[in-house]
Each structure stands twice: as C-alpha cells, then as structure tokens.
Structure 1
Amino acid sequence: MQYGWLDRNIKWIFILPAALFILLIIAFPLAYTVRISFYEWSMSAIAPPKWVGLDNYAALLKDERFWGSVWRTFYFTIPAIVLETVLGVLIAVLFSRKFVGAKWVKTFLMLPMVATPVAIGLIWLLIYEPSIGLANQILKGIGLKPLAWLGSVDQVLPSLIIIDVWEWTPMIALIVIAGLTTLPSDPYESADVDGATSFQKFIHITLPLLRPTIMVAVVLRMIDLLKTFDTIYSTTQGGPNFASETLNVMVYTQAFQYFKLGTASSLLVLFFSIIMIIIMVLIGIRKKVGEAA
C-alpha cells in the first residue's frame, strides 16, 4: 500500500504548531536580549539605542559588583542545595514508612511550596524582625543574643538560605519518596537474610539505588536556586549594602532601577551562559550516575 507524503509525515505535522510556538517564545526573547546587549539604551523614546559593541560585556567583566553578585549567587546556591538534598532524603526515608496519618503528613509537607515566594518572603520578614520577630524571641528564650538577620551583611545570606531550605526541602523529599516506591524489594530481603541493620541497608542499598532520583531532584533545584529572585527581593531587595544582591537581583536593578537595558541584557546573557554550563555538567553527571546504577 502506497502512502503519500502527508501520511508519512503526519506525526511531525501534528506537533509542528506546538514546536513553532515554543521555539518562538524561547528564541525571540533570547535573540532580542542578545541584540540589546550590544547597545546602550535607557528605554527612552527620545534617545534611541546606541551601538556599543562588546563594551557592555567588557565593563561587566571589570566590575567588582558583578563578580560580587556571581560569588553571592553560588554562596546562596551551594549550601542551600546541599542542605535541601540531605534533609530531603532523610525526610523521604522517614516518611516512606507506613504509619498513621502518613497522607496528612505528606500533605503538610507540601504547604511551604504552595504559597507564593513573595508571600513566604513577607512571612519570614516578620519572623526575622529584630525587635518582635519570632526568631529573636526564640534566641532570647534559650539565652542567646538576638541577631540582625536580614539587616547584617554577614548574616543576610545564611538567613536567606534558611528560608529557601524551609520552603523547598519538601520538593526534594517528595521526589525521593516517589523514587522509593519504585525500588525493588529483593535486595532488602537478601540483606535481611544476611542480618544487615537498617543503617547498613540505607547506606549500601537505598542510597545507591536512589542516586538517579536524587540527581534529578538536584538538577531541578539547582536550576531554580540559581534563578532565585522573588524571596530575595521581597525581603532584602539585594541589601544591605548589596550583601544579598545575586545575579538575578542585579539584572532587575540594572534594568528597572537604573534603566540600563544594555547592561542588564549583557548581564542576562552571561547569566544564561553560566546556567547552561552548570546544567550541562549536571546532566553529564546524572547520565554517569544513571549508567553506574
């Protein structure tokens, strides 16, 4: 039976509109941002964009504020992802066991993720309030000195890390719980016969089998952590004294406070490049972990 061109390519024709739409909404903003990064533009209708070539990139690479924001981005991201992964795995293993009210506990775990990041930021802004905030009340109650939290250059990033860990650890826990439900029972039965303890089974069976699942959770959270904006801006707006200004916050500041669209666009291009490199590295690691598993 002879099939026409339409019949042979029908599967591609069906997905073509969706593929073109996705390509358009991704490619156009990206291409426009790259284009604007070569101009000096203040969003003024009077002064048109002025071509400056690579000057915006050269200025950023010489800017201490830019390198400071890069450092703060990773200082915020790395401890947060480590804490969230460790706590998420431990919570998942603990809650994967059958007990009374397990469904309610899992539902309660999701509550921090349901609220919007801005709302979470405002809640923690009250918790960290130096005079009447709950955090300092707890410190006073156990005999410790109150902290400035979000008002201190040294304490602001650790304080923001605490917020992110509280909000997003449940996400990793839920992903790992889903992974635990797919683990085979044979290795555990063999370990029981050999007299292995629960800790030994966790270290030598559960963790190795969960590595691909954990890597998926790490990749997803790492991408999101690098782009964190809502919580930081709603609590500190990059302060005090730029101490919590990450790359995403700096982009917003350059674009919508200083109206330096060219600088903000070049910063976005550099930020996008950094994220893509990290994603490629993480995907490579995940692939090796999957093959090893």
Structure 2
Amino acid sequence: MSAVLEKKIGQGEQFSRWANTNRKWVFAAPAMVFTALLIAFPVVWTLYLSMTDARGSVRAESNFIGLENYFTVLGDFTRFWPAVGRTVYFTAGALFFELALGMAIALLLRRAFRGERWVRIAILLPLVATPVAVGMMWRLILEPNIGFANQALAWFGIPAQPWLSSEATALTTLMFVDIWQWTPMVVLILLAGLTSLSDEPDEAARVDGATAWQRFWYVTLPLMRATVITAILLRGIDALKTFDILYATKGKGGGSFHEVETLNIYAYGLSFDYNKYGLSSTVLIIFFAMIIACIWILTASRKKDKS
C-alpha cells in the first residue's frame, strides 16, 4: 500500500510542477475552450446550411446539394458581385480616411496644450452614440427637403444635394457617416502608439535639418508601423461588417436600387426577407473566408514587421 501511495504522491507532485510551469494555459483553458465552442458551432452550422437547399424555415426538411449554392452565388453578377464591390469600396474608403484623419489628429494631440482635455472629450463624443442612433440622426440631417445639411449649403448659394436619396451618392454619404463616428477610435489607437515612442529619433532628425514632413515620413511612420497595422486590423474588420448604419438609413435591400447593399445587407435580406437560408449561409461563409484572409494577411505583415 505504501508503494502505491508513494506512486500517487509522486504523480501528484509531477502534475503540480507541470501545472505551475504551464499555469497561464491552465487558467486560460476553460475560457479558450468556451470561446472556441461559441465560435465553432455557428460556423459549422452555417457551413452545413450552405450545402443544403434550406428555405422557409431552418427546421423544415432540406436536401444536401453540395456546392450548388456556391456556384449559384459566385455566378450571380446581379446582386452578389455588386455587393462585394460596394463592401470593398465602403471598407477601403472609410479605412483610408479614418487612418489619415486619425493620424493627423493623433499628431496634434501628441503634445500637451491648454484645453487638451476638452478637445479630447469633444473628439470622442461620436463614439458615445450607438450606430443605429447615429444613422437615424444623420438621416434627419441629410433629408433632402428639411435637413440641416442642405439648409447650410443654401447659405453659401450651393444647390441642395440628394445625399442618401441618390443612387450615385448614397454609399459615399454613408461612408462619411462611418468616418465621422469611428475616426475617434483610430485616434485612440494611434495616439497610444505615438505616446509610447521615444523623442530621441525625432530630435536627432530635427538636428540634422529634417523638415516636419520628413521627420514624420522617415522617422515617426516607420516606428508606428506595428500600431498602424493594428489599427487597420481592428477598424478594417469592423468596417467590413458594417450593418447598423446602412440598414437604419436605407432599410431593406440597401435601398430601392440596392445602392448601399453590402454583403451583410445582402445576406440579411436572403435570410429574413426571402427565407433562403441555404443561399444566405453561402454568402456568409464566403464573407467569413474573406475576413479570415484579411486577418491572415495583416497578421502576417505585423509579424514580419516585428521580426
């Protein structure tokens, strides 16, 4: 009995040493497993639905049809590919201006000045409101007949603009709304990176006679590369998934002519307007693959920069 007891005690000590050595993984494991299951189940279920002809109800009988839905969706040049184009246009445009404005504002806020606290509060105000509330607010501001935007243009003799009511300007207008709301988030990320930088490289470049633009382009920006990639990763993925503002302002189908119909709006319409769950799941899986590809590219770029 004593030999068995000693063996169990020895095994317990080995386990204790292993647990102590890998304690960060031991404590994190339950949360990681739960999160993995939380993500895996919807993805696997959606992947299964994408290979069926499910429609009408997810509980109704459906037949396994393999990749037929994928061929149908990828061959749809009327709704799917235009939605892809709008998604890329909206994301790329919003991300470009948010990064440019975010960097400019972060550079202005890098140095302390009088009233800095109030300026920071004012810049962060757009983040307080929910996207749906922001969408409804801007819908009223941009209303062609009684909206404040056209009234302000009239003061300068500029004719009224259609804004959200025009097929040509609706998506660009909503891109502006997204930039207005989410640039402060980019400012916070970039400002955190700027404040962590040492002043010595910038001062050395100043002594060598470099201009402000040269110091920014050749000194500050390279040092900020990892932070900029992080901002692109976080904000880019969020912009890809934008739904609230688009639906709150234009409603079903992204407008009468689908002028702001991105992949999110298109998939939502297939599910809740037409009850085509198989096709909707296919769109979502393709969209999910696009997001994963973007994450992989940006993460690989960030790792390469660190190395």
TM-score bracket for the superposition, by shorter chain length: over 0.9
Structure 2 equivalent of residue 5 of structure 1 = 15
Paired letter, 2:15: W
Structure 2 equivalent of residue 270 of structure 1 = 286
How far apart are 1:148 and its partner, in Å?
A: 1.1
Structure 1 equivalent of residue 89 of structure 2 = 75
How far apart are 1:285 and its partner, in Å?
A: 2.3
Structure 1 equivalent of residue 260 of structure 2 = 244
Would you say 1:23 and 2:39 are equivalent positions? no
Alignment of 1:112-127 (within 5 A): 112-127=126-141
Structure 1 equivalent of residue 175 of structure 2 = 161
Q: Please give the alpha-carbon distance, in whole angstroms, between the structure 2 residues aligned to 1:66 and 1:22.
A: 31
Contact 2:106 2:187 (C-alpha < 8 Å) held by counterparts:
yes
Q: Please give the alpha-carbon distance, in whole angstroms, between the structure 2 residues aligned to 1:137 and 1:150.
A: 15
How far apart are 1:46 and its partner, in Å?
A: 8.0
Q: Please give the alpha-carbon distance, in whole angstroms, between the structure 1 residues aligned to 2:304 and 2:31.
A: 32
Structure showing greater Rg: 2
Given the alignment, which residue of 121, 136, 139 partners 2:150? 136
Contact 1:122 1:235 (C-alpha < 8 Å) held by counterparts:
yes
Would you say 1:198 and 2:212 are equivalent positions? yes
Cα 1:203/1:264, change in 2 over 3 Å: same
Would you say 1:231 and 2:269 are equivalent positions? no
Contact 1:151 1:240 (C-alpha < 8 Å) held by counterparts:
no
Would you say 1:149 and 2:163 are equivalent positions? yes
How far apart are 1:212 and its partner, in Å?
A: 1.5
How far apart are 1:49 and its partner, in Å?
A: 2.1
Q: Deviations over 1:229-263 (max 9, x none)?
A: 01111011211311110001111111111111111
Structure 2 equivalent of residue 84 of structure 1 = 98
How far apart are 1:180 and its partner, in Å?
A: 1.0
Q: Please give the alpha-carbon distance, in whole angstroms, between the structure 2 residues aligned to 1:149 and 1:23.
A: 43
Contact 1:69 1:250 (C-alpha < 8 Å) held by counterparts:
yes
Q: Deviations over 1:155-182 (max 9, x none)?
A: 0111011001101111111111111111
Unaligned regions of 5+ residues in structure 2, if any? 1-8
Structure 2 equivalent of residue 95 of structure 1 = 109
Contact 1:211 1:290 (C-alpha < 8 Å) held by counterparts:
no
* Structure 1 SS opposite 2:224: helix
| TM-score, L = length of structure 1 | 0.94
Q: Please give the alpha-carbon distance, in whole angstroms, between the structure 1 residues aligned to 2:27 and 2:204.
A: 49
Q: State the identity %.
A: 44
Unaligned regions of 5+ residues in structure 1, if any? none
Q: Please give the alpha-carbon distance, in whole angstroms, between the structure 2 residues aligned to 1:281 and 1:105.
A: 35
Q: Please give the alpha-carbon distance, in whole angstroms, between the structure 2 residues aligned to 1:46 and 1:286.
A: 44
Cα 1:188/1:16, change in 2 over 3 Å: closer
Q: Deviations over 1:56-84 (max 9, x none)?
A: 11111111211110011001111111111
Cα 1:285/1:46, change in 2 over 3 Å: closer
Q: Please give the alpha-carbon distance, in whole angstroms, between the structure 2 residues aligned to 1:182 and 1:168.
A: 22
Q: State the Cα RMSD in Å.
A: 1.8
Structure 1 equivalent of residue 273 of structure 2 = 257
Contact 1:152 1:240 (C-alpha < 8 Å) held by counterparts:
no
Structure 1 equivalent of residue 186 of structure 2 = 172
Structure 2 equivalent of residue 281 of structure 1 = 297
Q: Please give the alpha-carbon distance, in whole angstroms, between the structure 1 residues aligned to 2:302 and 2:73.
A: 33
Q: Deviations over 1:30-52 (max 9, x none)?
A: 11110111112224388412222
| TM-score, L = length of structure 2 | 0.89
How far apart are 1:273 and its partner, in Å?
A: 0.6
Paired letter, 2:30: P
Structure 2 equivalent of residue 53 of structure 1 = 66
Q: Please give the alpha-carbon distance, in whole angstroms, between the structure 1 residues aligned to 2:59 and 2:125.
A: 49
Cα 1:288/1:138, change in 2 over 3 Å: farther
Q: Please give the alpha-carbon distance, in whole angstroms, between the structure 1 residues aligned to 2:18 and 2:227.
A: 37
Runs of 4+ residues over 4 Å off in structure 1: none
Stretch of structure 1 that moved more, 150-159 or 15-24: 15-24
